[in-house]
């Protein structure tokens, strides 16, 4: 009895296993059957534009909307962003170390060109400048004294010395002559003549020296004698200039009319060389700086007009003019930078964000159509359809400027032709069409 029960259980389990294995196959068959039934119940649809059928509408004309191609002035605009920057700004730093004795400025203060900004304690430099000026005065006085030459009293004294030795020489010669005669008469010895000759020689030498001294006094100093004191004067003047330069570095003046944007020190702080003290910008140097992609860079030029909207003044559009175009592209960004001034009474501040519309070029009397009229072909060309005698005629066209959903057609279309703008996706060349709702007004 137990054996029969076990055998029955095993057969039941095998049957359930076969049922589970067949369940997926049965489910797939059911899905396919349902799909076939649905396809049979669905009404047959015709492919639009099938050969032999006028637009796939049972030979009936397709309903389209058209506009007339018109001529108008069309401008190519480029919308970019920029920011307000100052072309003249400065960070004032100290070149001398010392306590700050003057700094009354706060952010927002206006300063004039040459107005004192910062003063650093300069007692040591003032003393150095005074000493250098005194040394220069001494050197100049010595040079002036040398150039003035001998005084009249010195020349008179030299002339007196010359006259004295002239008289001495005359007396020595007279004595020599007398001694010579006495020797000839044998009234004196030869030694007396020798002594007289010696006195004549001494007097002659002294007279020559006195005469040379007199000539030098009358001639004045030589070029070499003047050159040395002149060099001393130049050296002293250089020392004065150096001392005054050190002194001037203790007082820092405004390089141009500006507004103070940051103050880093106060009176009593210690100024250290190359440490920022005050930052300033010139309000009249504020411009909008922006960059354009490389493909538009060649068209940038000075004098081009643009429009700007600043986030600080929403809803206000102002005009501007490009005043500077940078000569190079940015090496990494491949953009060209330009600067423009804005015609606005609103106060500009550095780093304000600006949304710009740049008018690159304008075409006069351009043939234009709405952008909806232009279709792209798989080959990359552009086509449109014009309505001629109630038929859609396919035209291959070339386009130019596209701005605000208006496209310039440079080739393949004439002004006044009716261009399909709605329903053109389903058209084929030569299919009958019916203009519905009249002609649509061209987009402005």
pLDDT in tens, 337-348: 999 999 999 999
Give the model's confidence band at 409: pLDDT under 50 very low, under 70 low, under 90 confident, else very high.
Answer: very high
Supply 203's token pair.
């007097």
pLDDT of 241 above 60: yes
Mean pLDDT over 397-426 rounds to 91
Which pLDDT does position 56 carry in this prediction? 47
Which pLDDT does position 441 carry in this prediction? 54
pLDDT of 109 above 70: yes
Task: Return the percent helix, strand and coil in the chain, to nearest 5.
Answer: 40, 35, 30
170 Cβ partners below 8 Å, 6+ apart? none
205 Cβ partners below 8 Å, 6+ apart? none
Between 47 and 391, name the one with better pLDDT: 391
Rounded Cα gap, residues 370 and 420, in angstroms: 10
Rounded Cα gap, residues 129 and 245, in angstroms: 9
DSSP character string of 216-271: HHHH---HHHHHHHHHHHHHHHHHHHHHHHHHHTTEEE-SSSEEEEEE---TTPEE
CA-to-CA separations, 101 to 264, 271, 273, 422, in angstroms, rounded? 14, 10, 16, 79
Model confidence over 428-439: pLDDT tens digits?
999 999 988 655
397 Cβ partners below 8 Å, 6+ apart? 374, 382, 383, 384, 409, 410, 411, 412, 413
pLDDT of 119 above 70: yes
pLDDT of 218 above 90: no
Rounded Cα gap, residues 309 and 292, in angstroms: 17
Which pLDDT does position 33 carry in this prediction? 46
DSSP character string of 135-148: HHHHHHHHHHHHHH
3-state secondary structure of 307: strand
Supply 183's token pair.
């020797």
Rounded Cα gap, residues 144 and 229, in angstroms: 9
Supply 272's token pair.
């250290």
Compute the mean pLDDT over every residue in the chain, rounded to the nearest whole number. 83
Quick one: CA dihedral 345, 350, 354, 358, positive or negative?
positive
Which pLDDT does position 170 carry in this prediction? 83
pLDDT of 443 above 80: no
Beta bridge partners of 338: 290, 325
Give the model's confidence band at 210: pLDDT under 50 very low, under 70 low, under 90 confident, else very high.
Answer: confident
Mean pLDDT over 236-259 rounds to 93
Which pLDDT does position 58 carry in this prediction? 52
pLDDT of 157 above 90: no
Which pLDDT does position 395 carry in this prediction? 93
Rounded Cα gap, residues 289 and 282, in angstroms: 16
Give the model's confidence band at 161: pLDDT under 50 very low, under 70 low, under 90 confident, else very high.
Answer: confident
Model confidence over 50-100: pLDDT tens digits?
333 344 455 688 899 999 999 998 888 899 999 999 999 999 999 989 999
3-state secondary structure of 105: coil
pLDDT of 37 above 60: no
Share of the chain above pLDDT 70, in %: 84
Rounded Cα gap, residues 156 and 69, in angstroms: 116
Q: Is 426 exposed, middle or buried (0-12, 13-18, 19+ CB in 10 A)?
A: middle
241 Cβ partners below 8 Å, 6+ apart? none
DSSP state, residue 44: P
Give the model's confidence band at 101: pLDDT under 50 very low, under 70 low, under 90 confident, else very high.
Answer: very high
Long-range CB contacts (within 8 A, 24+) of 217-223: 217/149, 217/150, 217/154, 217/155, 217/158, 218/150, 218/155, 220/147, 220/149, 220/150, 221/146, 221/147, 221/149
Which pLDDT does position 206 carry in this prediction? 86
- Other beta carbons within 10 angstroms of residue 333's beta carbon come to 11
Q: Which of 121, 214, 197, 122 is nearest to 161 (CA)?
A: 214
Between 45 and 77, name the one with better pLDDT: 77
pLDDT of 29 above 60: no
DSSP character string of 155-219: HHHHHHHHHHHHHHHHHHHHHHHHHHHHHHTTSS-HHHHHHHHHHHHHHHHHHHHHHHHHHHHHH
Which pLDDT does position 169 carry in this prediction? 81
pLDDT of 377 above 50: yes
pLDDT of 328 above 90: yes
pLDDT of 11 above 90: no
Give the model's confidence band at 223: pLDDT under 50 very low, under 70 low, under 90 confident, else very high.
Answer: confident
DSSP character string of 361-393: EEEEEEEEEEGGG-EE-TTS-EEEEEEETTEEE
Model confidence over 289-327: pLDDT tens digits?
999 999 889 889 999 999 999 999 998 999 999 999 999
Which pLDDT does position 133 carry in this prediction? 93
């Amino acid at each position: 009895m137990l054996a029969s029960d076990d055998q029955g259980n095993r057969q039941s389990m095998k049957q359930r296993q076969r049922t589970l294995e067949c369940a997926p196959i049965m489910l797939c068959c059911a899905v396919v059957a349902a799909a076939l039934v649905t396809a049979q119940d669905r009404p047959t649809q015709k492919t639009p534009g099938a050969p032999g059928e006028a637009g796939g509408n049972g030979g009936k004309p397709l309903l389209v909307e058209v506009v007339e191609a018109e001529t108008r002035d069309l401008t190519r605009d480029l919308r970019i962003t920029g920011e307000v920057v100052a072309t003249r700004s400065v960070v004032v730093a100290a070149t001398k170390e010392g306590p700050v004795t003057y700094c009354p400025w706060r952010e927002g203060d206006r300063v004039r060109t040459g107005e004192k900004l910062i003063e650093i304690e300069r007692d040591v430099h003032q003393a150095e400048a005074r000493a250098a000026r005194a040394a220069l005065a001494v050197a100049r006085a010595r040079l002036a004294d040398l150039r003035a030459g001998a005084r009249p009293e010195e020349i008179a004294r030299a002339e007196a010395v010359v006259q004295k030795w002239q008289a001495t020489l005359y007396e020595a010669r007279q004595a020599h002559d007398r001694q010579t005669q006495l020797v000839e008469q044998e009234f004196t010895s030869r030694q007396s003549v020798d002594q007289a000759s010696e006195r004549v020689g001494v007097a002659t030498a002294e007279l020559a020296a006195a005469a040379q001294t007199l000539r030098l006094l009358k001639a004045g100093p030589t070029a070499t004698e003047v050159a040395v004191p002149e060099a001393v004067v130049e050296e002293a003047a250089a020392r004065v200039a150096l001392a005054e330069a050190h002194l001037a570095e203790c007082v820092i003046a405004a390089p141009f009319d500006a507004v103070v944007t940051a103050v880093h020190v106060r009176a009593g702080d210690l100024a250290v060389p190359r440490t920022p003290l005050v930052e300033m910008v010139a309000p009249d140097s504020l411009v909008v700086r922006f960059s354009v992609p490389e493909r538009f860079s060649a068209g940038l030029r000075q004098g081009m007009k643009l429009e700007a909207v600043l986030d600080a003044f929403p809803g206000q559009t102002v005009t501007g003019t490009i005043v500077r175009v940078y000569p190079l592209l940015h090496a990494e960004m491949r953009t060209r930078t330009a600067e423009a001034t804005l015609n606005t009474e609103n106060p500009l501040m550095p780093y304000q964000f600006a949304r710009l519309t740049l008018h690159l070029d304008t075409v006069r009397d351009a043939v234009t159509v709405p952008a909806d009229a232009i279709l792209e072909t798989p080959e990359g060309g552009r086509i449109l359809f014009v309505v001629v005698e109630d038929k859609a005629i396919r035209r291959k066209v070339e386009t130019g400027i596209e701005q605000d959903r208006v496209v310039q057609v440079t080739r393949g279309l004439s002004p006044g032709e009716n261009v399909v703008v709605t329903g053109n996706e389903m058209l084929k060349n030569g299919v009958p069409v019916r203009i519905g709702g009249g002609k649509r007004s061209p987009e402005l």
